[in-house]
């Protein structure tokens, strides 16, 4: 139940951020070119929304297997060796995300301690930048899920399979799966 709530919250936040960026940017363009007026805060808000979209999107990408990578060498290995390498790779991803989580927490803490305000919005800068440690904490959680599935022997992967996706959606003119030439 908690996992479903987290997934729905993550997807909802990503959708909200994308919609907010679109609405604010559209309103800014209309205000500027139709009314010769500009919202001073629009660019900064859009920038913060885009940053949040990136940091939340990292964990979402791991969850749905959307990250791309070069795995040509791994595919040449025997299945057992490839599986072990996937576990090592996942552990290294967790270590990397933990290091960046720690660094981003220090960064946000220092901004909070200094009390720096946003340039155009009436909020402290640490508020929108808090998405950095939150995003990396979610990333660690998602990598932990992948690691758990790998250790259990389930079919799990860190990367998406672009070839399989392309073949799944490939059709001929009649809408039937296309033949390989």
The string of pLDDT tens digits covering residues 71-101 is 777 777 787 888 888 888 889 999 999 999 9
Give the C-alpha separation, 130 to 56, whole Å: 11
* The three-state (H, E, C) secondary structure of 38-96, written as one string: CCCCHHHHHHHHHHHHHHHHHHHHHHHCCCCCCCHHHHHCCHHHHHHHHHHHHHHHHHH
The string of pLDDT tens digits covering residues 102-136 is 999 999 999 999 988 988 888 999 999 999 999 99
Is the whole model's pTM more than 0.85, yes or no? no
């Amino acid at each position: 139940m908690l996992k479903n709530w987290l997934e729905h919250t993550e997807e909802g936040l990503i959708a909200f951020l994308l919609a907010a960026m679109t609405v604010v940017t559209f309103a800014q363009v209309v205000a500027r070119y139709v009314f010769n007026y500009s919202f001073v805060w629009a660019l900064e808000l859009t920038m913060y929304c885009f940053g949040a979209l990136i940091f939340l999107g990292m964990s979402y990408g791991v969850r749905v297997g959307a990250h791309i990578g070069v795995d040509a060498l791994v595919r040449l290995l025997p299945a057992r060796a490839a599986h072990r390498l996937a576990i090592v790779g996942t552990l290294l991803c967790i270590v990397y995300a933990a290091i960046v989580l720690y660094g981003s927490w220090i960064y946000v803490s220092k901004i909070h301690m200094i009390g720096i305000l946003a340039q155009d919005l009436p909020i402290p800068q640490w508020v929108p930048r808090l998405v950095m440690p939150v995003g990396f904490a979610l990333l660690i959680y998602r990598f932990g899920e992948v690691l758990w599935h790998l250790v259990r022997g389930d079919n799990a992967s860190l990367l998406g399979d672009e070839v399989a996706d392309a073949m799944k959606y490939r059709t001929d003119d009649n809408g039937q799966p296309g033949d390989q030439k």
